[in-house]
Chains A and B, each alone.
Chain A
């Protein structure tokens, strides 16, 4: 299967802990996106990479959030000092720069207790 993969699928943590999620995009895709989805809502854009460069960050991405794509392949999203309001589904998507079709991974469901 050459789709987008995300790890872990589920994460339960206590408030104040740090968490890190990983996304592996479709191998030939040079663009990678992170979105957040809360219950009953559509996904909201967080940040976007073209190759290893982070080109845009949403205002939703507070200082506690950091994303990296060090070699232009997989990406990580870290949340420091988690808060209950961070509980959500974190989705990763990838696309080719030449085609605006984004393919999503299965998501990581974060629950902050």
Chain B
């Protein structure tokens, strides 16, 4: 059972464009994390959100946690080729009882010069 659905699955844009990636679930998460993964490497943690409605900014990246803690979004302003990669959301489900991360399906982003 895939608890976290990401959309879009693939996004190809030109340098300078803005984009938003969505992470949705019917389950409530006690925390949610966004990672970026390069081919052949492990995921790199970008941000953790824990409070419903929370917004965090990391340079050109803006992360938001839904009020009900069931969804999240990642917005990138003025995308650059260095933003290319696989973006994964991952959460700790309030029902699992421990700290297992459940990962989304991933969004593969390609930013062309």
Contacts and interface: CB of A to CB of B under 8 A. Distances in A.
A72 interface: no
B68 interface: no
A40 B9 CA distance: 10
A91 B42 contact: yes
Given A91-B42, A107-B41, A107-B42, A100 B30 contact: yes
Question: Taking chain A's interface residues, is the majority helix, strand, or loop, or is none over half, making it mixed?
Answer: strand
Nearest to B42: A104
Given A100-B48, A101-B48, A42 B103 contact: yes
B45 interface: yes
Interface string B29-61: 011010100001111110010000000000000
Contacts of B35: 104
Contact of A43 (B40, B41, B43, B99): B43
A45 interface: yes
B22 to A, nearest CB: 15
Interface of B: 4, 30-31, 33, 35, 40-45, 48, 88, 90, 92, 98-106
User: Which 5 pairs of residues, A with B, have the shortest CB-CB distance?
Assistant: A42-B103, A104-B42, A45-B100, A107-B42, A106-B42
Interface of A: 4, 6, 31, 33, 35, 40-45, 48, 55-56, 91, 93, 95, 100-107, 109
Given A6-B42, A43-B90, A106-B41, 9 more contacts: A42-B105, A44-B103, A45-B102, A91-B42, A100-B48, A100-B92, A101-B45, A102-B33, A104-B42
